[in-house]
Amino acid sequence: MSNDTSRQSVLFDDLAAKVVVARFDQPQASSDGGAVLLKGCDQALGLTAAMAACMEEWRQQAKVRHDLDELLRQRVFAIACGYADANDAARLADDPIQKLLVGRDAVNGAALASQPTLSRFENAVDAKTLYRMGAAMADAVIARHRRRLKGRAKRITIDLDPTDDPTHGTQQLSFFNGHYDTWCYLPVAGFVTFNDEPEQYLAAYVLRPGNAPATLGAIGILRRLLQRLRVAFPRAQLRVRLDGGFACPKLFDFLEAQRVKYVVAMARNNVLKRHAEPLMEVARGMTARSEQTEHVYGECVYGARSWNRERRVIIKAEVVRLNGREPKENPRFVVTNHKSTPRHVYTKLYCARGEIENRIKELHHGLEIDRTSCTRFWANQLRVLLTAAAYALMQELRLRARDTCCARSQVSTLRDRLLKLGVWIETSVRRVVLHLPMGAPFADEWRRIARSISAVPA
């Protein structure tokens, strides 16, 4: 930083009663003072340490200035703080809080890795290492909640959902997808919900080619999650919820072989529509009388030609009415092995999966998980995995904030309220003191979260 403060200053002579001068001249300061909470969350999860342990050093040790675990933590913590691009590394190289997060001296420590160093890191990780890192993330998340719940959970629900990741270059395995009308990847995200808690915890995020069917990789993800959950929660009832793209004979056979409950949407066809017709007649009569949207729930036994057996199908016969429009018929179908009533299965079990759309929106809009601009496919898989790790830390932060007004805040709100705090850092031989704003609006919440991690009154 230049010592010429006159060139760092701007002057406003008409904003207030007095002249206002703004200077970027505060040394040992950062705008991410609250991010030390992320470090505490990471220690509680053991996440970045577990993922870093999956990587093997390939560089010449005499030339190494940044260890692999530092590079991984630098990217994960930066993403959580809102710096989605490796290009941001140049701006953060001497940020004292970012240095503190990766384990370097906040003031006197060497600068963080540059963008070229991070790019080489992203492109050097192979598929086997990425598989191990993804498994380490799932293990860390499940182990955290096993400790939290003391191994006791009545019910655990796994949700898988595909999403789109538009591409705008020459990325490997990027293809045009007619459904999304763009060139893209089609990643799939896996979430785990414990009992009836409102949070769905991210446990898997797998990048896939843009022309991938919804079922690609689904059985592998489910098998790994089911194995780990059974070890961690041996008495829990396991349940799987999926949308219509996953409905195929192989998946149904797998779920039944695994002896888990499932609720899987299914696309309509002529046979199912015939089964639904009596219920649709009832719904038409109800909406004609009420002039409102009406639903009728029922069930049938159905077996497609490609299935080896018949299965229970829940039917929602719906007629939708909107002002100024003709009534629209909208029959829906869900395949399940649950024994509950059709209304309960559809409204309470299946419809609850809609909440994961909010989690996926957080990944896209809060952490920009679609920044997959590397040419190599595996480099982009590493990028989304690092972003998924950052999201796991933010979910841990939200869990720690459960008794505060931030308990249901979105990722971007958590960042603004708890992480983006101006700080001046003072160091001595024995300790580092963070001087945060006395008037921070959420200081009380920040202190409560800090104490829930490991902090004690100073």
Give a yes or no: residue 211 inside a domain. yes
- What SS3 class is residue 205? strand
Same domain, 323 and 226: no
pLDDT-based confidence at 243, cuts 50/70/90? very high
- d(CA 299, CA 312) in angstroms, rounded, equals 7
Name the domain boundary from 330, 345, 373: 330
pLDDT value of position 21: 85
User: Are residues 177 and 126 part of one domain?
Assistant: yes
User: In 3D, which of 308, 297, 309, 306 has the Cα closest to residue 334?
Assistant: 297
User: Cα separation of 106 and 99, whole Å?
Assistant: 5
Considering the domain boundaries, does residue 60 fall inside one?
yes
- The one-letter amino acid code at 227 reads Q
C-alpha dihedral over 69, 73, 76, 80, to 10 degrees? 170
The answer to whether 221 touches 160, Cβ cutoff 8 Å, is: yes
Percent of the chain clearing pLDDT 90 (strictly above)? 85
Which two three-digit tokens encode residue 375?
């040419």
Q: Are residues 280 and 163 in the same domain?
A: no
Please compute the mean of the pLDDT values over residues 309-319 and round it to a whole number.
96
Please report which helix (H) or strand (E) contains residue 185, including its range.
strand 182-185
Which is more confidently placed, 342 or 456?
Answer: 342
Same domain flag for 312 and 454 = no
The model carries a pTM of 0.94
Does the pLDDT at position 356 exceed 80?
yes
pLDDT at 338: 95
- The H or E element containing residue 213 is none
Q: Are residues 218 and 277 in the same domain?
A: no
Give the residue-averaged pLDDT of 350-372.
Answer: 94
**How many domains does the chain fold into?**
2
Residue 22 confidence class, pLDDT cut points 50, 70, 90: confident
For residue 441, the model assigns a pLDDT of: 95
Compute CA 241 distance to the chain's CA centroid, rounded to the nearest angstrom.
17
* 7 lies in some domain: no
**HSE-CB of 435 using CA atoms within 13 angstroms:** 8
Measuring CA to CA, which residue among 167, 254, 242 is closest to residue 211?
167
Check pLDDT > 70 for residue 138.
Answer: yes
- If asked whether residues 79 and 35 sit together in one domain, one would say yes
Whether 283 and 388 map to the same domain: the answer is no
- Of 240, 160, 155, whose CA–CA distance to 194 is shortest? 155
In a domain, 12, yes or no: no
At 4 the pLDDT is 52
State yes or no: pLDDT of 1 exceeds 50: no
Alpha carbon distance 310, 301 (integer Å): 6
Copy the structure tokens of residue 45. 């999860």
User: pLDDT tens across 31-44, in order?
Assistant: 999 999 999 999 99
Q: What is the pLDDT of residue 315?
A: 97
For position 11, what pLDDT does the model report?
A: 79
In a domain, 58, yes or no: yes
How far CA 107 is from CA of 27, 71, 101, 372, 432, in Å, comes to 9, 19, 12, 33, 9
Same domain, 315 and 393: no
Decide if 349 is inside a domain: no
Q: Is residue 19 part of a domain?
A: no
Domain housing 365: 28-234+355-458
Looking at the predicted structure, is the pLDDT value of residue 227 above 50? Answer: yes
Helix, strand, coil % in the chain, rounded to nearest 5? 45, 20, 35
Q: How many residues does the chain have?
A: 458
Crossing angle (nearest 10°) for helices 377-400 and 115-124: 110
Cα separation of 408 and 395, whole Å?
Answer: 10
Tokens standing for residue 339: 């024994």
Please report the pLDDT score of residue 393 as a whole number. Answer: 98
* Same domain, residue pair 33 and 171: yes
Q: Give pLDDT tens digits for 252-310.
A: 999 999 999 999 999 999 999 999 999 999 999 999 999 899 999 999 999 999 999 99
The mean per-residue pLDDT over the stretch 339-363 comes to 94
Look at residue 330 in the predicted model and tell me its pLDDT.
Answer: 93
Last residue of a domain, one of 282, 313, 330: 330
What is the share, in percent, of the chain residues with pLDDT greater than 70? Answer: 98
What is residue 357's DSSP assignment? H
Euclidean distance between CA atoms 359 and 2, whole angstroms: 43
SS3 label, residue 16: coil
113 plus 230 within the same structural domain: yes
**Is residue 6's pLDDT more than 60?**
no
The pLDDT of residue 3 is: 53
Same domain, 38 and 152: yes
417/274 same-domain check: no
Q: Considering the domain boundaries, does residue 251 fall inside one?
A: no
> Per residue in 363-395, pLDDT tens?
999 999 999 999 999 999 999 999 999 999 999
The count of C-alpha atoms lying within 13 angstroms of the C-alpha of 19, restricted to the half-sphere facing its C-beta, is 5
Of the candidates 449, 453, 431, 428, the residue with the CA atom closest to the CA atom of residue 440: 449
pLDDT in tens, 73-129: 999 999 999 999 999 998 999 999 999 999 999 999 999 999 999 999 999 999 999
CA pair distance 268, 157, nearest whole angstrom: 25
The answer to whether residue 236 scores a pLDDT higher than 60 is yes
